[in-house]
Amino acid sequence: MKWMGARAVALVAIMVTVGARVALAQAPPTNYELVRAAAHSACVELVTAIKPMHPDGAPLALRAVGTHAGNFLVENALSSALTEAGIAVRTEAGAEDRLLEFNVVDLGLVYPRSRRRAWLGERRVEREARARLFARLVDPAAASVVWAQAAEAKERDEVPVSQLADLEEKSPADYMKATLPARRWNRVVEPAVVTGIVVGLIVLFFSNQETN
């Protein structure tokens, strides 16, 4: 019986190791990268709507409205989206340049829920990054607002809880801080109980094989 128990424990160890290797096969984006992706998606939506109102494709200058900590991240995402659309971005607005003002209404990341994918699977957490922006195109020469619109985007994925230490920023801004959902006591006990059941089934299987 001792050798069967050893084989059962070894088999469980192999299953856990294989699962860990599969989970690490593709490195997920960091929390910052996930929020940036949501901001970029929202900016692409805004720029797509701007193009018909800005047919000449003349350079635009950007200006943040408000003091949100994520202004710099959104400005970079908006600059990238404009450049991808063939619209140059000026660091300073000239007398005749149109001005694209933007306001960060909401920007951040949360962990909505956590779960285990399988009995022996490690605990995983869902991440949701969100970006809600408002922008308007101002024509200084005509002293008028040419266009105004809001855009919202979300990015979701699921990662092992064990990887969060590598995915979270070391000193995150407030809008980047997220906390894991509270766990009920049965969720803590469940993995140990399930592991015991599986080991027992494996031992029983080998016992039956030996008997036969």
Chain segment 88-112, per-residue pLDDT in tens: 999 888 777 899 999 999 999 999 9
CA 77 to CA 138: how far, in whole Å? Answer: 20
Q: Give me the helices (H) in the chain, please.
A: 2-23, 31-50, 71-84, 164-167, 185-211
Give the per-residue pLDDT at 206: 57
The residue extents of the domains of the chain are 28-180
Q: Please indicate, yes or no, whether the overall pTM of this predicted structure exceeds 0.75.
A: no
Average pLDDT, the chain: 82
> Best-predicted range by mean pLDDT among 18-22, 127-131, 141-145, 194-198?
127-131
CA 137 to CA 149: how far, in whole Å? Answer: 9
Can you read off the two tokens belonging to residue 162? 């064990």
Kindly report, residue by residue over 29-76, the tens digit of the pLDDT.
Answer: 999 999 999 999 999 999 999 999 887 888 999 999 999 999 999 999
Give the per-residue pLDDT at 158: 94
What is the percentage of the chain residues whose pLDDT exceeds 70?
A: 72
More confident residue, 67 or 121: 67
- The answer regarding whether domain 28-180 maps to CATH 3.40.50 reads no
Give the per-residue pLDDT at 97: 84
Give the per-residue pLDDT at 43: 98
Give the per-residue pLDDT at 70: 97
The answer to whether the beta carbons of residues 198 and 120 sit under 8 Å apart is yes
Give the per-residue pLDDT at 71: 97
More confident residue, 200 or 150: 150
Can you read off the two tokens belonging to residue 73? 């991240």
Place of tokens 């070391």: 170
Give the per-residue pLDDT at 3: 46
Query: In this model, does residue 160 exceed pLDDT 60?
Result: yes
More confident residue, 146 or 206: 146
The answer to whether the beta carbons of residues 23 and 98 sit under 8 Å apart is no
List the one residue out of 165, 118, 113 whose CA is nearest residue 20: 118
